Amino acid sequence: PAAVDTVDLAREIQGQVHTDVLRVGVNYDGTSGDDAFTTDFTSTQYYVYTPTGTGTDTVTFYDAATAGNILLTRTKDLTSDKTVNVGKVSGDTHADLYSGTLEVWDTLDTATNKLSSETVNPASASTPDYKQYFEADATNPVTTMYYLKASTSDSLVSRGNGFTLQTDYSFTKDLVVEKTGKVTSDITKVGIDLDEDLTINNNDVYTTDFDTDDEYEVFTVTDSAVDVRYYTGAFTEVLKIDEDFTSAGTYENDVSRLVGEVPVSLASGTVEIEKAGYTDGVCGGSFYAQAYISATPGSASPDYTIYYEADGTTYSLLYCAATGPTNVLAWNFVSDTTGGETETIDVSEISGTVEYTYNGGANSMQVYDDRSSYPGGLLNGLTAGTSISFWTETGAGTPDTYTVYFIESDDTRAPAIDVDEVDLRMADSSNYVSWR
């Protein structure tokens, strides 16, 4: 009698797929090619039955019943039954992603498990610019969050742009916004907080990749109100910039920083930057950016570092003691426009005692680089005639103590300020003036 082969179809591979999938093939014996396949679907449901596999088996999805293009290949252990669902994400992209790649991953940091298998290069000739297929979650395929890894041709990577699938196993994600700029070399991460919830998560996006000029690119969707967040070290936020991505296109934010030395009396204080919309002149109030001063000024350089958008804005800089509601020194500086710069502004102090004939009023101290330039050359106020340091006389014949802070050096100015000696202008409430 003729030999009889027995094939035990012990394994079931099944799942839901996007309608672009027209064939499912399974390789279970370790040789090349599909050992079993199906082109039959009930709506989007498929089933394939095979013998028990080797443990490193493959399930492949095609876009045609015969001789189709591979949309997705997954390695599975077919020593047990498997559910393999397939989703599709597609959309248009910014032109700077053309010739780059788009992948789908299971975590925001795109470091754990890549869910797509095929190389997809966005292109303007395609409609839409990209289509990527991936393995959807076996248990909760349409409620699980998936993430895009978008890489430019020069390997600058955007991670995030999370999404969930619709009931037809598809989602449209148009990455038509490019955020770019130049930052200081200590910036380690740029995040786009689309939902403005203070963290980079869910559908947000970030990059930790910078080119040799410290320039970055991040790609995301249109949105009328977002926060662009900049981080140093192990992702400590140092600056937030409000942005409007209503229209597709390129948006640029360059970032520079101020560093400097301060007197010991400002230990553990703060430095704040104010600008239009963030101005009240009060420490801890409405500020655009804030940084803490070292607890031990002079022990390590610099004593403070504060970051700002390099767009040519005139910023107000406040130096704040650890206690007290107002600043001890205010100063204007004009930012650079290139980004990536480190500017230096150092602060010094003069303190002592003074005795005037008692008049019961408030008296002021002003510091100038040269009394001959008065009212120009003021080093401890925003404009000439603005006094930051006051003292109130306690009574006739009683010496009064004072401390006045001033700018010792500022290389944001042209020409730069770098003073070796200063002139102190003392004025009482009756405007009697004395120079020292």
pLDDT by residue (tens digit) across 254-305?
Answer: 999 999 999 999 999 999 999 988 888 888 888 999 999 999 999 988 999 9
Instruction: Summarize pLDDT for 189-232 with one digit per residue, the tens.
Output: 999 999 999 999 989 999 999 999 999 999 999 999 999 999 99
Contacts of residue 70, defined as CB under 8 A and 6 or more positions apart, other chains included, come to: 60, 61, 62, 117, 118
Instruction: Summarize pLDDT for 60-97 with one digit per residue, the tens.
Output: 999 999 989 999 999 999 999 999 999 999 999 999 99
Contacts of residue 207, defined as CB under 8 A and 6 or more positions apart, other chains included, come to: 156, 157, 158, 159, 189, 190, 216, 217, 218
Indicate the SS3 state at residue 211: coil
Instruction: Summarize pLDDT for 228-261 with one digit per residue, the tens.
Output: 999 999 899 999 999 999 999 999 999 999 999 9
10 Å CB burial of residue 222 (0-12, 13-18, 19+) is: middle
Q: Is the pLDDT of residue 142 over 50?
A: yes
For 208: left if phi > 0, alpha if psi spans -120 to 50, otherwise beta; the answer is alpha
Q: How far apart are CA 59 and CA 70, in angstroms?
A: 11
**Nearest one of 352, 302, 329, 316 to 405, comparing CA atoms:** 329
Q: What is the pLDDT of residue 372?
A: 81
Q: How far apart are CA 288 and CA 311, in angstroms?
A: 14
Q: How far apart are CA 56 and CA 246, in angstroms?
A: 47
Q: Where are the domains of the chain?
A: 11-83, 86-253, 257-348
